[in-house]
Amino acid sequence: MKVGIIGSGGREHAICQSLKNSSKIDEIFCFPGNAGTKDIAENIELKLEDFENIKNFILKNKIDLVIVGPEKPLVEGLVDYLEKFKIKVFGPNKIAAQLEGSKTFTKQICEKYNIPTAKFGIFKNVISAKKFLKKTNFPTVIKADNLASGKGVYICNNESEAVLAIEEIFNGKFGKAKNLLIEEFLEGEEMSFFTVHDGETFKDFDTAQDHKRVSEGDKGKNTGGMGAYSPSRLINNELQSKIINKIIKPTLKGLADLGTSYKGFLYTGLMIVKNEPYLIEYNVRMGDPECQTILPKLKTDLSDIFLACCNSNLNEIKIEWINKKSLCVVLCSKGYPDLFQKNVEIKNLSNIKLDNDEFLFHAGTSTKDGKVYAVGGRVLNFISLAEDLNIARKKIISNLEKLNWTGGFYRKDIGYKVIDL
């Protein structure tokens, strides 16, 4: 079977590697891929927004299955476009993808179907948003109502911070935002809860805890994710039942009432307050770096899961996991999430010798003349599986020290809530 993977990040490298392990996969194409996928797939230099040429390549090369990794092409309707040409695609359609593409869309579903979430207001301009601040309790949360690569969220402790957030969002820091949301600040602990869907049924796909802030101790600016561990320390049977029955099932009902269904990965971002789940946001794909953290634990053939979702027979698949914990640390370019230098060579990669429970996934990398260069903010993902996260962390830090890349930085405290540092 031939498969095509849309995307170029650590998530897509992890998906490539998991599929490479399948005896059912003959060829993998990655659009456009990175320096890591180049070793296990054929990278195709096409832009994500070039729907027509992606379609032409898929048809010409008789690719049997396409997996769309990142959110942008999902929100822009790549799945709908490819399905018009009878191409088998794993991922949600354009309407369902609005769960991530529009926070307003999601909040309206929450209101209509009584899904627990933070109280909120939606504002269309700077004046109305600033006026609302006069009666707002702090801290408060301000979000851009558009795709922002995980960075369009501000936790504001006072009015001056909130004013700055409003101005930056409406001035286009994260792209054109028609609206912004001002939300109640929920005091609790975040958790990422994953499910996989075939349009009719769904199954759990593990949990994780991401670390969004750039600095240790969960301080500093929001990022796309500095690292994660899995499973979340918060998950238990009672909480899982609440998440499914109070949040996921009502959301699927909301989509059904709009005349659509959900197919693909669904990332439910939660705040857990005294064992009660509140929806923070949906992502309509696997998280990054959670995907890199979770997939190495998967025992079931990933291609079987993808095909079952496309064929609406997921109920016939048993999803099994390796009974170990997983930790991921992301190596970033200095300056991220603000301005950073691109095309910095990454030397010493040959110093990294991985054992069977260690993984290295590329993100913002490219190759030229046999050398690897950093071209993005998040560059490499170091993952380790172990029965004890302390052991996993020590292995990762050892590998990072062997690499000794002077052009980057990383958080040394990923998993600090479950690891004695």
Q: Are residues 330 and 275 in the same domain?
A: no
Q: Are residues 204 and 174 in the same domain?
A: no
Residue with tokens 């504002």: 123
The count of structural domains within the chain is 4
Q: Does 416 reside within a domain? A: no
Question: What tokens appear for 196 in the block?
Answer: 């996989």
Q: Are residues 172 and 198 in the same domain?
A: no
The C-alpha angle 260, 255, 206, rounded to 5 degrees, equals 105
Q: What range defines the domain where residue 64 resides?
A: 2-93
Q: What is the CATH number of the domain that holds 239?
A: 3.30.470.20
Q: Does 101 reside within a domain? A: no
Distances (CA, A) of 390 to 143, 298, 357: 34, 21, 14
Q: Does 258 reside within a domain? A: yes
Please tell me whether residue 411 adopts helix, strand or coil conformation: coil
Pairing of strands 2-7, 27-32: parallel
Q: Does 272 reside within a domain? A: yes
Q: Are residues 336 and 403 in the same domain?
A: yes
Q: Does 99 reside within a domain? A: no
Q: Are residues 84 and 128 in the same domain?
A: no
Q: Which residues contact 138 (CB under 8 A, 6 or more apart)?
A: 156, 157, 158, 159, 162, 185
> 16 and 5 in contact (C-beta within 8 Å)?
yes
DSSP 257-302: HTT---EEEEEEEEEEETTEEEEEEEESS--TTHHHHHGGGB-S-H
Q: What is the CATH number of the domain that holds 154?
A: 3.30.1490.20
- Using the 3D structure, point to which of 259, 292, 316 is the last residue of a domain: 316
pLDDT for 179 equals: 86
pLDDT for 107 equals: 92
Q: Are residues 202 and 299 in the same domain?
A: yes
Q: Are residues 329 and 300 in the same domain?
A: no
Q: Name residues of the chain where pLDDT drops below 70.
A: 148-151
* Closest to 362 (Cα-Cα) out of 6, 20, 11: 11
C-alpha–C-alpha distance, residues 30 and 20, integer Å: 12
C-alpha–C-alpha distance, residues 397 and 289, integer Å: 17
> 92 and 261 in contact (C-beta within 8 Å)?
no
Q: Are residues 84 and 44 in the same domain?
A: yes
Q: Are residues 59 and 139 in the same domain?
A: no
> 352 and 399 in contact (C-beta within 8 Å)?
yes
pLDDT for 137 equals: 87
pLDDT for 149 equals: 62
Q: Are residues 306 and 345 in the same domain?
A: no
pLDDT for 265 equals: 98
CA 182 to mean position of chain CA atoms:
23
Residue with tokens 């002077």: 406
- Using the 3D structure, point to which of 141, 163, 184 is the last residue of a domain: 184
Model confidence pLDDT, tens digit, residues 184-204: 999 999 999 999 999 999 999
Q: What is the CATH number of the domain that holds 51?
A: 3.40.50.20
Q: What is the CATH number of the domain that holds 362?
A: 3.90.600.10
Q: Are residues 254 and 177 in the same domain?
A: no
Q: Are residues 83 and 145 in the same domain?
A: no
Q: Does 69 reside within a domain? A: yes
Q: Does 111 reside within a domain? A: no
Q: Does 415 reside within a domain? A: no
- Using the 3D structure, point to which of 135, 154, 184 is the last residue of a domain: 184
Cα dihedral 34/35/41/42 (nearest 10): 80
